[in-house]
Amino acid sequence: MSDFRVAPARLDGNGYRILEDASLAGRNTFRVDARAALLVDVRDTAALAEVFAFPLLARVPLLVLGEGSNLLLTRNVDGAVLTLSTRGIAIIAEPDGEAIVRAEAGENWNDLVHWTLGHGLAGLENLALIPGTVGAAPIQNIGAYGVELSEFVHAVEAWDRTAKAPVRFDAAACAFAYRDSLFKREPGRYLVTALQLRLTRTPALRLDYAGVREELAAMNVAQPTPGLVAEAISRLRRRKLPDPAVIGNAGSFFKNPIVDADAAAALKATHAGLPTWPLPDGRCKLSAAWLIEQAGFKGIRDGDAGIAAQHALVLVNHGGATGAQLWALAQRVQAGVTERFGVVLEAEPRIV
């Protein structure tokens, strides 16, 4: 850190802090004990120009880290890890029956969902209890229970490391796709700093995803509201997915694979129980959880690396697994599903 002309362990600046040889064990939900050569914590986006002006940061790889809930660290990070701990949520415009909500990247996603519900705004209820920060949400185009974030994005604000300036993208420019976006495809260039969402005051509830109506019925809800839907979704998620506070995991580890209609029909012909969902482009989405369970991997354990017993999509750390051991098990699952079904599973989190 000689570039910073300070004592070698730490630098405190106006709106940021830089640490050398920092532990990341408490900054990833797998609780993998990895370290970063440099950890840059930014508390004010106005400091980004100064931070990125340091010559050292221009020379080393940069990993942007939110709450570490969509990440598997298989090794120490030789370059720099940057976190945004910025805060702030506000309604910045109110077109007829709608509101544009702006949230800083460092806000917790689930806190934002409940803030919007508390202000009478609907749309995000099906995305309740997804772990992570607001800044990570558009990168992954998070989705759950029949809803994707891209449906509500008004704009994404970011820092462009190439142009060395703040930029703003409307929803179309973000190039959203299934668990994908412009920001994911160019991970070294854009740092998401804030998210603008267009939400409505007239709910159009989405209740058709498996289990949602049944959960509402179990709650004795006859007239659902966005808040009650969020509660039902949260109950479903808590029951199906292991809590990262109890056992290390990053939620769903594998994407549901998408295949062409002929391939889906061929698989259904030999595996009648395979859940499939037709897509508007004529292709079909398959259930990765079903494929993994049928291939015999649900609940398995290899040392402290395992697949959750309650949900086959979830890779878990039972205590002392390294990132490399977790990734080795994930690759074993991928190979087993390909061998059994001829389908290639992709990891949903970012693998470092």
- List, for residues 112-160, the tens digit of each pLDDT value: 999 999 999 999 999 999 989 999 999 999 999 999 999 999 999 999 9
| Positive or negative: CA dihedral 19, 20, 26, 28 | positive
Same domain membership, residue 125 and residue 61: no
**Active-site annotation holds for 348:** yes
Order of all β-strands in the sheet with 89-93: 89-93, 98-104, 190-200, 153-160, 165-170
CATH number of the domain that 28 lies in? 3.30.43.10
Same domain membership, residue 196 and residue 94: yes
User: With 60 as the cut, is the pLDDT of residue 4 above it?
Assistant: no
Same domain membership, residue 52 and residue 15: yes
What is the pLDDT confidence band of residue 73, given thresholds at 50, 70 and 90? very high
pLDDT number for residue 342: 96
What is the pLDDT confidence band of residue 84, given thresholds at 50, 70 and 90? very high
- Please check whether residue 137 lies inside any domain of the structure: yes
Q: What is the DSSP letter of 168?
A: E
- Please check whether residue 215 lies inside any domain of the structure: no
Same domain membership, residue 127 and residue 99: yes
pLDDT number for residue 290: 97
User: Looking at the 3D structure of the chain, how many domains does it have?
Assistant: 3
Residue 61, CA atoms < 13 Å, CB-side half-sphere: 10
- List, for residues 86-97, the tens digit of each pLDDT value: 999 999 999 999
Q: What's the full length of the chain, in residues?
A: 352
Burial group, residue 33, by CB count within 10 angstroms (0-12, 13-18, 19+): middle
pLDDT number for residue 66: 87
Amino acid at 120: G
Whole-Å CA distances, 177 to 102, 182, 183: 22, 9, 11
Largest CA-CA distance found in the chain, in angstroms, rounded: 67
- Please check whether residue 53 lies inside any domain of the structure: yes
**Active-site annotation holds for 238:** no
What is the pLDDT confidence band of residue 333, given thresholds at 50, 70 and 90? very high
pLDDT number for residue 1: 45
Active-site residue identified among 67, 107, 215, 348: 348
pLDDT number for residue 297: 97
User: With 80 as the cut, is the pLDDT of residue 104 above it?
Assistant: yes
- Please check whether residue 99 lies inside any domain of the structure: yes
CATH number of the domain that 118 lies in? 3.30.465.10
217-248 in b/e form (b: 16+ CB < 10 A) is: eeeeeeebebbbbbbbbbbbbeeebbebeebb
Active-site residue identified among 27, 179, 198, 350: 179
Residue at which a domain ends, from 131, 166, 200 = 200
The residues, ordered by sequence, that sit 6+ positions from 251 with a Cβ below 8 Å of its Cβ are: 29, 69, 70, 130, 131, 241, 244, 314, 348
Same domain membership, residue 107 and residue 67: no
Q: What share of the chain has pLDDT > 70, as a percent?
A: 97
Same domain membership, residue 105 and residue 75: no
Task: Give me 218's structure tokens.
Answer: 């179990």
Same domain membership, residue 150 and residue 107: yes
- Mean pLDDT calculated for residue range 186-214: 94
pLDDT number for residue 60: 86
Residue at which a domain ends, from 184, 200, 216 = 200
Q: What share of the chain has pLDDT > 90, as a percent?
A: 84
Nearest to 309 by CA among 319, 297, 326: 297
- Please check whether residue 175 lies inside any domain of the structure: yes
pLDDT number for residue 6: 41
- Mean pLDDT calculated for residue range 334-351: 95
Active-site residue identified among 69, 150, 181, 252: 252
- List, for residues 221-247, the tens digit of each pLDDT value: 999 999 999 999 999 999 888 888 899
Q: Residue 42 forms beta bridges with which residues? A: 16, 84
Distance from C-alpha of 148 to C-alpha of 5, rounded to nearest angstrom: 46
Q: What is the pTM of this model?
A: 0.82
**Active-site annotation holds for 125:** no
pLDDT number for residue 8: 45
Residue at which a domain ends, from 84, 117, 148 = 84
- Please check whether residue 212 lies inside any domain of the structure: no
Same domain membership, residue 78 and residue 102: no
Domain that holds residue 15: 2-84
